[in-house]
Structure 1
């Protein structure tokens, strides 16, 4: 059995290591972390919406559709088109915000690169090339946010593609349920 005291110290050490990692990347790392939290909140909200909320909306439309009558007409097609457009907006509208957030990851990483290089130039201006440790810290500050931005962008692209696929499948199922054959 794991000692609770030892587990607590491991958690504290991990927390300190994470804080050191974030601090070494500069302010941009905190901006990336904040954007990451916002993005994944949106992702989980979309998954919850597609799996829990949207099916109830679909069921209410399906029941209303069955009461419209079996004889196809122009007004039934207009109702169907309207409901499909509403569903498209509900499913895909918030995904545009996610795409924008994913596009911001590498841009923030690039901002971190620029700010890190400015730190390197500050060290060079103050002490010339005689302070390799200061220059290394600036280079680290330049490369860390770039790497983090790219990793977040890649995971964001994969999750965004998955969400778009789920939304498309839900819309296709709704379209199939609202057919008059």
Structure 2
């Protein structure tokens, strides 16, 4: 395990400071994604049962007031199921932007080396180019992983929300 951590730290050092920022953003994004998956697997069914029980416990379900209560129950459940989804979407969008920031940061290093050495030190310039490309790659990989996970969680949330709406009937 010590070998893996050494390789990881060497990779992070090659990518520069922006790579640490991307790693922190990726950690937060996946923490929120796992929280939503956990909620959808274990918490949502309980919340749906409570809402349906509350709705079915009403004596009257056809009046204007009953429809407003139904809309409120559905809205509250949707707020619960969609919690953190906008934040996840924002973090996914930030990943490639931080990768581009890393690119700019690395290119500034390249230009600084060119200014100091007069452009003759190709090895030093290669290190700056490497520092520029690693965060770009990391930002794109992080964004791709988040796009797929966000699509999965959003699709399930939408389907479950529609299921709840369909089960709060007004016909009896």
1:159 aligns with 2:145: no
Q: 1:69 deviation in Å?
A: 2.8
- TM-score normalised per structure 2: 0.95
Q: 1:68 deviation in Å?
A: 1.0
1:13 aligns with 2:16: no
1:23 aligns with 2:13: yes
2:60 and 2:66 in contact (8 A); partners too: no
Q: Please, what is the CA RMSD of the aligned residues?
A: 1.2
- TM-score normalised per structure 1: 0.90
Kindly report which structure 2 residues correspond to 1:71-86, keeping only aligned pairs within 5 A, or say none. Answer: 72-86=62-76
The residue aligned with 1:48 is 38
The residue aligned with 1:112 is 102
Of residues 37, 59, 65, the one that matches 2:49 is 59
The residue aligned with 1:129 is 119
1:168 aligns with 2:168: no
Of residues 76, 82, 87, the one that matches 1:92 is 82
Q: How many residues align?
A: 171
Q: 1:127 deviation in Å?
A: 0.8
Kindly report structure 1 stretches of 4+ aligned residues shifted beyond 4 Å.
none
The residue aligned with 1:139 is 129
C-alpha distance in 2, partners of 1:147/1:173? 39
- Which structure 2 segments of 5+ residues have no match? none
- Which structure 1 segments of 5+ residues have no match? 1-10
